[in-house]
Structure 1
Amino acid sequence: MSETMSPGRGLRQRTRDAVRQQIAEVALVMFDEQGFDETTVDQIAAAVDISPRSFFRYFASKEDVVLGDPMVYGEPVRQRLTQALESMPVWNALRAAFQAAVEISESNPEWALRATRVMISTPSLRARNTEKHLAWMTVLVPPVADALTGTEDERQYHARAITLCALTCFDVASAELVHRGGAVETGVLLDDAFRMLRPAALVD
């Protein structure tokens, strides 16, 4: 019976994902063109021909359309970091780890450009982005600390400092992508940011 039910459940989930994606795409264009705060849920719902109540079946808030679950990006970064630390110094491993987030962004560059443009122009979204950093720090700091030397307090402190610097590099590269109108790839910008901080990183 479970095998018979599985295709139906898969179809329902794919349908739900498709509707969610449609809402998100329409909403993001509206946020970008008329402003995040100026765009209401009622307007988004009307644009995709659903009720405002239905919008909240797919998204807990307007902010979730732009940022969503922070671990959608954070978990792939953590996995890459764990693998990279087996053969690389910490700073290099962090750059390799963030390539997972770069690949997700570059798989849909127009979305990434719009989402980042909306995020950096909206105070409430910038605050949510800080919360994303805290969520990522929770999973990235432990493997970095394990790769460092020193006392427990020193390793934890250095791990927090280095990881936050890496997160800042990612944010700065994403913002620069917007400033340059998408003319330079995120990965290239991220390489440049990591290179600038490389001499100061306590990773050797």
Structure 2
Amino acid sequence: MTEPIGLRGRKKLQTRRRIEAAALELFGRDGFDGTTVEAVAAAADIAPRTFFYYFSAKEDVVLADYAGRLQRIVDQLGQRPDDEPPWEALKASFLVVAADYDSERQEIIRRFRIMAATPSVYARSLQLQAGWEDAVAAALAERMGCQPTDLYPRLLASCALSAVRSSLQHWIATGLESSLPKLVEGC
């Protein structure tokens, strides 16, 4: 069970969300490269150095949801039945996150448009996805009783992430017409 967030934690979360909202609005209007940290700070009513307390770079604002989504996948994987085959456990875990994406369509498309148009954001997303593979492989290895460096959990994690990434790209390319969970389910 998670502990309730205190006043200080709530204020930090509100500030982080305000920075994200301001940055995404400016990126959409002025372009990623046309938006400075100073402009984001002014729009979020913070000092520029405060921006760097919350985000190490502008790219991380666009990808701010990555850490939470990864944790959700790992948590879901840990809650799957022990006797469930590894691929099915992975798929079920990714389906939960796919449903989250499905319910946040407009926010997802806004972030993905910025990522697709900005090489530095796309490059940062690939770095983060490599970390996802490591984390999912480690969670899967623990579940399977083997080492995270073993080939099988790494292979499963890599295949699952590729399948989800392809499903997500197809979902966005086709105008979000289908259901992302249905696309992931088909993998």
What TM-score, normalized by structure 1, do the two folds share? 0.75
User: Does structure 1 residue 84 correspond to structure 2 residue 77?
Assistant: no
One-letter amino acid matched to 1:76: R
- Does structure 1 retain, via aligned residues, the 8 Å contact 2:91–2:185? yes
Distance 1:145 1:45 in 2: 42
Select 1:187's aligned residue among 178, 181, 187: 181
2:161 to 145, 159, 167: 167
The reply to whether residue 127 of structure 1 matches residue 115 of structure 2 is: no
Q: CA deviation at 1:130?
A: 1.9
Select which of 63, 68, 71 maps to 2:59: 63
CA gap 1:121/1:183 in 2 versus in 1, 3 angstroms: same
Deviation at 1:49, TM superposition (A): 3.2
Q: Identify unmatched segments of 5+ residues in structure 1.
A: 1-6, 195-204
Question: Which sections of structure 2, spanning at least 5 residues, go unmatched?
Answer: none
Which of the numbers 16, 40, 43 marks the counterpart of 1:20?
16
Q: Is the 8 A contact 1:27 1:44 kept in 2?
A: yes
- The structure-2 alpha-carbon separation of the partners of 1:30 and 1:173, relative to structure 1 and needing over 3 Å to count, comes to farther
Matched residues, number: 183
| Preserved CA contact (<8 Å) 1:117 1:175 | no
AA at the equivalent of 2:70: G
Superposition RMSD on alpha carbons, in Å? 2.8
Q: State the match for 1:112 in structure 2.
A: 108
User: Matched residues in 2 for 1:75 and 1:16: separation?
Assistant: 20
Deviations 1:3-51 (A, max 9, x none): xxxx9x8223212211221221121132234322222112222323333
Contact (CA 8 Å) 1:120, 1:175: kept in 2 or not?
no
Q: Tell me the equivalent position of 2:96.
A: 100
> Identity of counterpart residues, as a percentage?
32
